[in-house]
Amino acid sequence: MVGSAIVRKLQAEGYSNIIIRTSSELDLRNQAAVADFFADEQPEYVFLAAAKVGGILANNIYRAEFLYDNLMIESNIIHSSYKSGVKKLLFLGSSCIYPKLAPQPLKEEYLLSGYLEPTNEPYAIAKITGIKLCEAYRSQYGCNFISAMPTNLYGPNDNYDLQGSHVLPALIRKFHEAKLNGQSSVEVWGTGAPRREFLHADDLADACFFLMQHYNDDLFVNVGTGEDVTIRELAELVKETVGYEGDLYWNTEKPDGTPRKLMDVSRLHTLGWKHKTALRQGLEMTYQDFLANEVLYVE
Ligand code: GDP
């Protein structure tokens, strides 16, 4: 989702010399394959968007994979970027790097000030390592490697697998299928009380392009809207967007996860970037994209 959004942004800006590889073409966990790729292609600017990602359930079940795959991807790309003389690299982390009970909104300086949310601790540890790799390669070798921490994302090419996905795509699919099948209710996980912030992938791509052009500091930068909603509010909004008229059934056997993770985006706003897509509008766009690509998204 993020990689394709960045490619769309670069193409819209007129770039034609974009080097991309799908995961089936290049396994980023393979150190030798990544080293060969950088040696052959000699990219100048690197957007490190690739990651093993998923929702609350996937993070909690595939704990080893979330840690190992992400550590390998980051280590291989960051080290090869240093070795091959990349001019600038942007590493993408996640808002789950912050302590579970950190004050809200989350300021960049709260990193490593407390315990992490247990359901996604392996993923968070890997993403914190990515930040630290960028900082260390900058301080030891003088590399211009920067990091951005996006909030929860959604948009074209999202993962709609109900076990592995995040809440927003899961709810689009669930309400859509319930509408088609005339179901009287839809299962939603947890209590509905947790709050989440959502950023459209095209806005993130725009922020990545902005930071690649204008930001050269070792401090990482939060990327979000600075506004959040409860999962209950999100569910009502998705229900309305899809046009489903049944009820919600809250399954409290499923975890809530972290109570809140609202980004403080003042650093990014001060730099001069702000998101453009409001949640309601972004949901509408995303539902249209889902309808157009349902056969690809849902197996
Ligand atoms: P998180 O932001 O890392 O916690 O990941 P998610 O996007 O998977 O979950 C966010 C919140 O939405 C959690 O409180 C979930 O319990 C809740 N949620 C409600 N329904 C669903 C669903 O169908 N799928 C997912 N993934 N989360 C859901």
Residue 167 Cα to ligand 1 midpoint, Å, equals 4
Taking CB atoms and a 6 Å cutoff, what residues make up the pocket around ligand 1? Answer: 55-56, 96, 120, 152, 165-167, 170-171, 188-190, 194, 196, 231, 254-257
Superfamily of the domain at 2-298: NAD(P)-binding Rossmann-like Domain (3.40.50.720)
pLDDT at 35: 98
Q: Whose CA is nearest to atom 25 of ligand 1?
A: 167
Residue 246 Cα to ligand 1 midpoint, Å, equals 20
> Which atom number of ligand 1 is nearest to the Cα of residue 120?
3
Separation of alpha carbons 91 and 230, rounded Å: 29
92 is in an annotated binding site: yes
pLDDT at 299: 77
* CB 230, CB 192: distance < 8 Å: yes
> Which atom number of ligand 1 is nearest to the Cα of residue 59?
3
User: Of the candidates 220, 218, 194, which has an alpha carbon nearest to the alpha carbon of residue 104?
Assistant: 194
**Residue 13 per-residue DSSP state:** T
247 is in an annotated binding site: no
Q: Whose CA is nearest to atom 28 of ligand 1?
A: 167
Catalytic residues: 123
Q: How many CA atoms lie within 13 A of 156 on its CB side?
A: 14
Residue 241 Cα to ligand 1 midpoint, Å, equals 18
Residue 27 Cα to ligand 1 midpoint, Å, equals 28
SS3 state of residue 116 = coil
| Token pair 């280590």: residue | 75
Identify the H or E element spanning 188.
strand 185-189
pLDDT beneath 70, residues of the chain: none
Over residues 113-135, the pLDDT tens digits come to 999 999 999 999 999 999 999 99
Residue 123 Cα to ligand 1 midpoint, Å, equals 15
Separation of alpha carbons 127 and 52, rounded Å: 11
CA distances from 100 to 108, 116, 165, 202 (A): 14, 5, 21, 27
* Alpha helices (H) along the chain: 2-12, 31-41, 56-61, 63-83, 121-141, 167-181, 201-214, 231-242, 266-271, 279-297
99 is in an annotated binding site: no
pTM here is 0.97
211 is in an annotated binding site: no
User: Rounded to a whole number, what is the distance in angstroms from the first to the last CA of the chain?
Assistant: 17
258 is in an annotated binding site: no
Tokens of 54: 């998923």
> Which atom number of ligand 1 is nearest to the Cα of residue 190?
16
- φ/ψ of 170, rounded to 5, equals -60, -45
